[in-house]
Structure 1
Amino acid sequence: YDTPSQHPRISREELDFIVSNQGNEKAQLKRKVPWRKVLLSIPVWSAVLSHFGFNWIHYIFLTEMPTYLTSVLHYSLGANGLLSAVPYILGALLCCVASLAADVFRKRGTMSITNNRKLFNTLGVLVPGLFLLLVPLAGCNGFWNMVLLAVAGGFHGMGHSGFMAAFVDLAPDFAGTLLGISNVAASIPGFAIPAALGELLKEQSPLEAWALFFYTGSAIGILTGLEFILLGSADIQSWGVDTTFKGCCQVWRCSRYSAHS
């Protein structure tokens, strides 16, 4: 539906609130993105880098794990399909756990929102990097390889409550723009990883190539996790709210801070 008034299940109270705070005309206005401030924002680029590291690990599972299970660990096609799904299943479960835990911490005021984001970003980006570091040490042992990859994939799911949520924290009125910028950078691993692995396999033996491949992924995960600890933030930026849309801003502020008031 293009407007709230067109939705068949919206209540009269909800519609009155939206119209009184924004109005149909305001809803049609285009926000002017403060591009210079966005591109010079350290917290924004910190989240972008963490998104890059998160996706690098994600594409390892998505594009190369099935090949690794077949060519190095020699699993059958059927077993490959089942085992390749394990990190995703654990990741989906822990993603839900992390989101619920992050919300509980926020409501109880257990920690600042910035530390909240840093905690789950560390669990979702840095910790999987540590487990990938151990994969080459497992050699061709299928059991320990799968344990390490499954645990890495499980923790990886927690990252959505880190950098991803931080975009909304930093600039609630421009979160879509920030995520669009970030997705451009985070899509690079999608084509860089297969190309890099192909070159490694040309130059070195399979075991050496895969070891270097996992070490590289581990380093990227650890470094991008560390930089978010140092530079990341969830504090709203001075340019992050368009004052023309006070209604949206007030609703967002209420949901963000009411637990601490």
Structure 2
Amino acid sequence: MALATPFLISMGGWVALVAVRVCMGLTQSCFIPATHTLLGQWAPVAERTRLSNFSYAGIQFGTIITMPLCGVLSTTSLGWTLIFYSMGALSLAASAFFWFLTASTPRQHPFIGEAELRYIETSLQTKAEEEQVPIPWRHIVRSRAMWAIAAAHIGGNWCFIIFLVQIPTYLKNALGINITDSAMLSSLPFVSQWLFSWAFSFLSDFLISRHLLSLTNCRKLFNTIAAVGTALGLAAMSFLSGEHRIAAVTTLVLTVGLSSGICSGYMLNHIDLSPRFGGVMYGMSNCLANLLGLLAPLSAGFILEDQPTELGRWRVVFFTAAALVLACDLLYVLFTTSQQQPWNDPQTEDYDLGFKEKGQEKNMTPAETIYKFPENSEKET
């Protein structure tokens, strides 16, 4: 789609551009759920946060190098079209590497060593050959922890949209700072996010491996750091004026950096609950967060109306986002858990024994046989 963008624009103008960007968004929607699914099969619990951050840090790193690179490409004889041709070719190359160097499970990978395979399967308690089982939709939807994760996802995504869409407008119209004209200034928040995410991931795995905090409490801690840091940053920015340009940019950079705590918080909680279905669960919460996230720019436009330079209106926008992210984090802290759920592996010995004890093997449908579990069957990972 990137390769075809210049041609489509020449044929259909801005309408064609909007259409191709929508289609590109639809195709990219499978990226994180697919990565979550792979991480659930590959990342040992003690290294899950670091390995996941290593994967997802590519999002920030790609943004950091692309912003100045696009500026250079646009000055060539091909102009802006070279940006789309280059990114399309890069995407195809990455797809080729991904296709030939990855496998769904460690046991299916052609190059893995026996020691590494045994380590991963022992850590994740996976079987040599696992059968495919239907997705336990009913148990996922009824999971209190799943809804807590969705709440944190909604709050984090709302603030991300505010930073992505509204903050540059605020800096330009209210404070007279145009960061979009400078590739370096535009990339600084992403550099901060990249660095903070690495620090948080290593600290999280350190706390877990040394048994200083449980996995559940680590997820809550770093998600709260992200939520509180974001709320304080938004509140601080709303009281800055055009005379405090350096303070405004510094606050923006630090706030975006602290927001990366979600990478060690709710973002990995799906895999904690169910390594097998973590990708499906992320897709569900991400869909809900993005649908409600559409209201973020709409509500900001309603509050600002035609007065984007009035600081009082911007305070309402920022404080609304801050209150939302704190409320969502509170729900997350109260109701989430990192215990692996029994419906992640419905064909276990506990499952079979439970039905024999309760005498429920007879007169049960196949779906009920797969997904009904004895009480108190949850185990700590």
TM-score normalised by L of structure 1: 0.81
The Cα shift of 1:77 comes to 5.6
Larger radius of gyration: 2
| Residues 142-190 of structure 1, C-alpha deviations (whole Å, 9 max, x = no match) | 2222222222111001111011121111122211111111110121354
1:60 and 2:166 correspond: no
Contact 1:126-1:223 at 8 Å conserved across structures = no
| SS of aligned partner of 1:97 | helix
**What is the identity percentage for the equivalent residue pairs of Structure 1 and Structure 2?**
29
Amino acid at match of 2:254: V
**Aligned counterpart, 1:122:** 224
Question: Judging changes above 3 Å, is the alpha-carbon distance between structure 1 residues 70 and 204 closer, same or farther for their aligned structure 2 residues?
Answer: closer
Aligned residues: 243
1:42 and 2:144 correspond: yes
Question: Judging changes above 3 Å, is the alpha-carbon distance between structure 1 residues 139 and 16 closer, same or farther for their aligned structure 2 residues?
Answer: closer
| Residues 10-63 of structure 1, C-alpha deviations (whole Å, 9 max, x = no match) | 336667997x9333xx4xx43222222211111111011101111111112222
Q: Whole-Å Cα distance in 2 between the matches of residues 219 and 158 of structure 1?
A: 18
**Aligned counterpart, 1:248:** none
The Cα shift of 1:194 comes to 2.0
1:171 and 2:274 correspond: yes
| SS of aligned partner of 2:318 | helix
Structure 1 gaps of 5+ residues are: 245-255
**Aligned counterpart, 2:255:** 152
Q: Whole-Å Cα distance in 2 between the matches of residues 91 and 203 of structure 1?
A: 32
Give the helix-richer structure, 1 or 2.
1
Question: Judging changes above 3 Å, is the alpha-carbon distance between structure 1 residues 143 and 129 closer, same or farther for their aligned structure 2 residues?
Answer: same
Contact 1:69-1:80 at 8 Å conserved across structures = no
Q: Whole-Å Cα distance in 2 between the matches of residues 160 and 121 of structure 1?
A: 8
Q: Whole-Å Cα distance in 1 between the matches of residues 117 and 235 of structure 2?
A: 52
Question: Judging changes above 3 Å, is the alpha-carbon distance between structure 1 residues 22 and 242 closer, same or farther for their aligned structure 2 residues?
Answer: farther
The Cα shift of 1:78 comes to 5.7
**Aligned counterpart, 2:197:** 95
Q: Whole-Å Cα distance in 2 between the matches of residues 133 and 51 of structure 1?
A: 20
1:134 and 2:236 correspond: yes
Question: Judging changes above 3 Å, is the alpha-carbon distance between structure 1 residues 174 and 6 closer, same or farther for their aligned structure 2 residues?
Answer: closer
Which of 307, 313, 320 aligns to 1:216? It is 320
Contact 2:179-2:185 at 8 Å conserved across structures = no
Q: Whole-Å Cα distance in 1 between the matches of residues 329 and 107 of structure 2?
A: 43
The Cα shift of 1:196 comes to 1.8
Pick 1 or 2: higher relative contact order, CA cutoff 8 A, min separation 6.
Answer: 1
Q: Whole-Å Cα distance in 2 between the matches of residues 91 and 232 of structure 1?
A: 25
Question: Judging changes above 3 Å, is the alpha-carbon distance between structure 1 residues 179 and 205 closer, same or farther for their aligned structure 2 residues?
Answer: closer
Contact 2:225-2:259 at 8 Å conserved across structures = yes
1:21 and 2:21 correspond: no
Point out the more displaced range, 101-110 or 82-91.
Answer: 82-91
Which of 341, 354, 361 aligns to 1:237? It is 341
Which of 173, 194, 201 aligns to 2:297? It is 194
| Residues 112-168 of structure 1, C-alpha deviations (whole Å, 9 max, x = no match) | 111111100101123211221222122333222222222211100111101112111
The Cα shift of 1:2 comes to 5.7
Which of 258, 277, 285 aligns to 1:182? It is 285
CA RMSD of aligned residues (A): 2.8
Q: Whole-Å Cα distance in 1 between the matches of residues 109 and 341 of structure 2?
A: 33
Structure 2 gaps of 5+ residues are: 1-101, 349-379
| Residues 83-130 of structure 1, C-alpha deviations (whole Å, 9 max, x = no match) | 332222111111111111111111100011111111001011232112
Point out the more displaced range, 1-10 or 158-167.
Answer: 1-10
Question: Judging changes above 3 Å, is the alpha-carbon distance between structure 1 residues 7 and 230 closer, same or farther for their aligned structure 2 residues?
Answer: closer
**Aligned counterpart, 2:209:** 107
The Cα shift of 1:192 comes to 2.1
Q: Whole-Å Cα distance in 2 between the matches of residues 78 and 201 of structure 1?
A: 21
| Residues 192-215 of structure 1, C-alpha deviations (whole Å, 9 max, x = no match) | 222222222226563232221111
Which of 68, 73, 80 aligns to 2:175? It is 73
**Aligned counterpart, 2:48:** none
Q: Whole-Å Cα distance in 2 between the matches of residues 77 and 90 of structure 1?
A: 15
